Chains A and B, each alone.
Chain A
């Protein structure tokens, strides 16, 4: 059942967003190259780190944190959603990778939300961005509203997603309670992953205007 939900509410929207990007000429095969190139650049700049110019390095640190969190999110999405999609429980190597990546993701996510929240706070101007909003044809800066909303959806659903697992680590709930916590986790991460895809979409959308990512 959960597998069906994943398919309907995660895979289909993700495919649709990918289709929109692809339609605008976005080449997904270059995605990992973009990611690695950006990471390399940030790492280079970080190697020149000195405490004297600490303030100047903060944006680089933020970007590295973002890339790191995105990579972990991708790992969690792959390991967490593939088993239910094929009708299995999270078990074996998937479970192992999932539980090993999860704490690092939590820590990175907390930092990310803390550092990025200010930039994603909603303002009056965002109401104007919503006017005439259409996924098929996003007008100038309209992707920013997607980014902001998906950020807050992401932040909001990360709370039950993490809390449900944190609670299950203690002998407070019985098996039935743990099943309910798992259900809360599963539903929350569905929204979490969905918002992650929208956020990524909002980041990639402006790139379709540059030649580097066009087919």
Chain B
């Protein structure tokens, strides 16, 4: 009995202490208190060593978001969020997203990269792009976190550069600083200068970051001027930060932080510009209808402290193991339910005259998102692929990489959805019928001489190559590779290899497909949806939805051509051509059906009438004396 009591007491004590410790783990800003008002952030600045930064410090150090924001919010939890991390194991429910696109005009390389293991992309590690190189290539639109701060991922050859540039922790401000004067482009500019440690401060309106870590020698030490004595300080200065004193309220600084992030912050990394549009002009009316109605991106793409942002597709609920996430999909908001029409009484679609088969075969976005399909898929420029938003970028409409949109593709659920599409082009090794891209830059310089791509003046398209050039390049690469290694060139729908007689062979492989990813925005209202003008929007003889063309992008001009949209939709040409004919004759068919119906209706009515009349006359009048017979 005594033992039982002691055991219960220990268990109770353990539970209480566990509860206490869990409560201790939560930081003040991890949980909302229920107030709808905006939390004002007048906070201390902390540097990367967790030391407070004072206005009169000399020298001044860049503040670290990891410690400044992490003082009240659990950085460890946040940094595992979707934007800053990539899962070790890819969920089978995951959906392809926009890749990072490696572009090397010299070696004719266009390569979709991702740490997320999306089918059709390549891991940066596999093509020997170290985290440091990744930041150099794509850091302008990278939010920081994981690869930019996890020391276990660092490559030894980048050790000194990491020491100079510092780590790039999750930059909370790039999304949450709602200040009018927050400068995302300045953050990007400092990433290009490899001022990773300083980049977050550079974006704020109370800091001025100067200098370039990129130009500093490997032994650079900011406390020892001898280490950069050889640097011409009139041209390059060591990275430094200075804070404007009036910004300080005592030891604290005001950050204009918002939970409901303004759309502009999202747009910095998630803008898409229709490249065909003259001068990249974006009309004010051309925006997602939800945003025009007053919603913010984050109203649907929401998250908790874990920053597992809702991506808005059906299987996201399965990935997050949270059924409530489904309410942030199109159907979740707009389809009728028992209690309400989704969120904020979102209008339930009537879909007048639209058979339900369409809802089974098409995603909502097929009719409501992106541009109305035209004869030929257009080019689109995106923030991340074309570094939109940075000062001084090339604004050419046809700037590489060429991303086509809208391309209607059958997705993993068997539904047709509009996507953005990219044709890859790269040098690879062929082994057992498997294609593995070569490390980027392995032959880049040699190739630029062989293919004569070293004198390129334009970035509007990959230089065309012919058989002679490709043969020469492949011969050179195979000769200079390890014995038994077979080097090929993958481009468009084919790969190019040398036969034993050193002749160029063009072959196909099941793995060679363009990479595509779903587009969901801008959403068009019902009146502008595909089909709003009638069935002929899609079901016409030359419908762009089925028979629009998608260019095959390849520098090998003989294989550059186009494919019809229905090949991506996995739908037959003959069937949809014939089906479109039925819509052509539909007015006539309608007339026949209605006329036939009227004839049948009248005939039946006449005979029913006759029957009623006969019944009324029965029995005959001569039987009036025998009423009940």
Spell out A's residues near B (CB within 8 Å). Answer: 89, 91-93, 95-96, 99-100, 102-104, 106-107, 109-111, 113-114, 117, 121-122, 152, 155-156, 158-159, 162-163, 165-166, 168-175, 178-179, 182
Contact = CB atoms under 8 A, between A and B. Distances in A.
A100 B593 contact: no
Contact of A155 (B354, B579, B604, B610): B604
A56 to B, nearest CB: 24
Contacts of B611: 121-122
B607 A110 contact: no
Contact of A170 (B353, B354, B595, B603): B353
A111 B606 CA distance: 15
B350 interface: yes
B350 A174 contact: yes
B586 interface: yes
Contacts of A159: 597, 600-601, 604
Interface stretch (B150-158, B356-364, B377-385): B356-364
Contacts of B356: 175, 178-179, 182
B392 interface: no
A89 B360 CA distance: 10
Nearest to B589: A103
Interface in B344-388: 349-360
A77 to B, nearest CB: 18
A104 to B, nearest CB: 8
Contacts of B358: 175
A91 B594 CA distance: 24
A155 B603 contact: yes
A168 B355 contact: yes
Contacts of B281: none
B604 to A, nearest CB: 5
Given A110-B597, A158-B600, A175-B356, 8 more contacts: A89-B360, A109-B596, A110-B596, A113-B599, A117-B604, A171-B352, A175-B350, A175-B351
B291 interface: no
B600 A166 contact: no
A166 B353 CA distance: 11
Given A96-B579, A110-B595, A169-B590, A174 B352 contact: yes
B597 A166 contact: yes
Nearest to B611: A122
Given A114-B603, A171-B353, A175-B359, A99 B582 contact: yes
B424 to A, nearest CB: 33
A172 B596 CA distance: 20
B349 A174 contact: yes
Most chain A beta-carbon neighbours within 10 Å: one of B349, B357, B610: B357
Interface in B582-621: 582, 586, 589-590, 592-597, 599-601, 603-604, 606-607, 610-611
B604 A166 contact: no
A interface, over-half SS: helix
B600 A110 contact: yes
Interface of B: 349-360, 575, 578-579, 582, 586, 589-590, 592-597, 599-601, 603-604, 606-607, 610-611
Contacts of A168: 353, 355
B379 to A, nearest CB: 34
Most chain A beta-carbon neighbours within 10 Å: one of B360, B578, B599: B599
A152 B610 CA distance: 14
A100 B582 contact: yes
Contacts of A166: 590, 593-594, 597
B582 A165 contact: no
A175 B361 CA distance: 14
B353 A106 contact: no
28 contacts: A89-B360, A95-B579, A106-B593, A109-B600, A110-B596, A113-B603, A114-B599, A117-B603, A122-B611, A152-B604, A158-B600, A159-B597, A162-B593, A162-B596, A162-B597, A162-B600, A166-B593, A166-B594, A168-B353, A169-B353, A169-B590, A174-B350, A174-B354, A175-B350, A175-B355, A175-B358, A178-B353, A182-B355
Contacts of B600: 109-110, 113-114, 155, 158-159, 162
Contacts of B604: 113, 117, 152, 155-156, 159
Given A103-B589, A117-B603, A172 B353 contact: yes
B167 to A, nearest CB: 53
B151 to A, nearest CB: 55
B575 A117 contact: no
Given A106-B593, A159-B597, A159-B600, A173 B352 contact: yes
Nearest to B360: A89
Nearest to A120: B607
Most chain A beta-carbon neighbours within 10 Å: one of B353, B575, B590, B610: B353
A96 B603 contact: no
Nearest to B607: A117
Given A107-B596, A117-B607, A174-B350, A96 B355 contact: no
Contacts of B352: 171-174
Contacts of B589: 103, 169
Contacts of A173: 352-353
A103 B578 CA distance: 16
Contact of B354 (A102, A109, A178): A178
Nearest to B594: A166
Contacts of A165: 593
A24 B37 CA distance: 87
Contacts of B354: 174-175, 178
B597 A106 contact: yes
Given A121-B610, A156-B604, A103 B593 contact: yes
A2 to B, nearest CB: 14
A89 B607 contact: no
A182 B212 CA distance: 69
Given A168-B355, A171-B353, A106 B582 contact: no
B353 A91 contact: no
A174 B359 CA distance: 12
A57 B597 CA distance: 26
Contact of A110 (B599, B606, B610): B599
Nearest to A116: B603
A106 B355 contact: no
A186 B63 CA distance: 70
A89 B592 CA distance: 25
B220 to A, nearest CB: 65
Contacts of B578: 96
Contacts of A171: 352-353
Nearest to A114: B603
Given A113-B600, A171-B353, A179-B356, A121 B607 contact: yes
Nearest to A91: B357
